[in-house]
Amino acid sequence: MGSIWFWFVAAMLGAYVVLDGFDLGVGILHPWLGRSENDKQLLLRTIGPVWDGNEVWLIAGGGTLYFAFPLLYASAFSGFYLALMIVLWLLIMRGASIELRSLMHIGVWRAFFDGLFFVSSALLAIFFGAALANVIRGVPLGADGYFFLPLWTNWLPGTSPGILDWYTVLGGLVALVALALHGALYVAVKTEGELQQRVRSVVPRLWIVLFILTGMDLFASVNVRPDILDNYKAFPVAFLVPAVVGISLVGIFFFSRKNADRNAFTCSCIYLAAMLVGAATALYPRLLPSTSNPSLDITIQKALSGPHALRVGLVWWIFGMGLAVLYFVIVYRMFRGKVSLHEGGYGH
């Protein structure tokens, strides 16, 4: 049962990264792609009906983590409290920038919220990437399962690291570029004309940077935490996951050169999902490793909730996820096609 909930949580977080990832990517690229007011409106309309719904997966993942692995939830909030509060404020600012931007037709007003949209989107991508890197690297867990992390210390991974060091910053940069590329490919799918051509020209440059950063991140992860390869060595079939990462990267390059935007975007979705599956495979059955003593690792069995809670929770989880999936199928079906400044702005 613990393994089932481990992969449930991983799947929901993966759904959040893939779906809300292109929303963040649009925000990251907004200052460069939005050269005119019409371009800026089109960019926002590519995500207009779905951005807030996509964030449901983050809330659902956090809620599932709360009742399935309460020890991990409590421990994470004790040590990552500052970072989590920053993420909360960034989510609020990003939502406010999208909703308030068009309320007043004043240049300064719109410029302020455009800047806020970019800054909050970029920092969210960096913080999410750094958060995953923190989990892979490990944290200084105490015997009681709690820990404290300052925002930074000496910028070096070790037994007493900070939230930010060279490894977690690298993870943040990978997330920033990956989501920017993801957003660019999504905009290429949803737009046409000059804006589509402009975003297509950005994709090759982002791809080159992502290709380099992905390789650097792989070698850095093995260097910082060599035991992440243990599960791969024990189950060689798991090496298919990094192979899928590489194939999806090649697919993005190949299809984007042929202007096959939907196929390139699909490869980007696979890349993000495979990266997360690779991290989860490396960690399993650990949920949060210790940097000082492996016996203090928070594992599935240590953090797992009671059997009655898991059985009851499974019934309601299936019901709730069924409704969520149905909602998303309906919304994305209604929102299919290109966006425009006409016909209500959201396309058909």
Give the number of domains in the chain: 1
336-345 confidence digits (pLDDT tens): 889 987 755 4
* Percentage of the chain exceeding pLDDT 70: 98
- Distance from C-alpha of 76 to C-alpha of 61, rounded to nearest angstrom: 14
| Residue 343: predicted pLDDT | 56
Of 299 and 81, the one with more pLDDT: 299
pTM: 0.93
The range of the structural domain enclosing residue 260 comes to 2-345
| Residue 348: predicted pLDDT | 31
| Residue 345: predicted pLDDT | 46
Quickly state the pLDDT bin for 103 (edges 50, 70, 90). confident
| Residue 281: predicted pLDDT | 95
| Residue 341: predicted pLDDT | 79
The answer on pLDDT for 16 being more than 80 is yes
| Residue 149: predicted pLDDT | 84
The answer on pLDDT for 76 being more than 80 is yes
- What average pLDDT does range 19-47 have in this prediction? 93
Convert the chain into a string of H (helix), E (strand) and C (coil): CHHHHHHHHHHHHHHHHHHHHHHHHHHHHHHHHCCCHHHHHHHHHHHCCCHHHHCHHHHHHHHHHHHHCHHHHHHHHHHCHHHHHHHHHHHHHHHHHHHHHHHCCCHHHHHHHHHHHHHHHHHHHHHHHHHHHHHHHCECCCCCCCCCCCCECCCCCCCCCCCECHHHHHHHHHHHHHHHHHHHHHHHHHCCHHHHHHHHHHHHHHHHHHHHHHHHHHHHHHHHCHHHHHHHHHCHHHHHHHHHHHHHHHHHHHHHHCCCHHHHHHHHHHHHHHHHHHHHHHHCCEEECECCCHHHCEEHHHHCCCHHHHHHHHHHHHHHHHHHHHHHHHHHHHCCCCCCCCHHHCCC
The answer on pLDDT for 206 being more than 70 is yes
* Percentage of the chain exceeding pLDDT 90: 74
- What average pLDDT does range 175-201 have in this prediction? 96
110-131 confidence digits (pLDDT tens): 999 999 999 999 999 999 999 9
The answer on pLDDT for 233 being more than 70 is yes
Quickly state the pLDDT bin for 82 (edges 50, 70, 90). confident
52-75 confidence digits (pLDDT tens): 889 989 999 988 998 899 999 899
- What average pLDDT does range 18-38 have in this prediction? 94
- Rounded to the nearest integer, the mean pLDDT of the chain is 92
270-307 confidence digits (pLDDT tens): 999 999 999 999 999 999 999 888 899 999 999 999 99
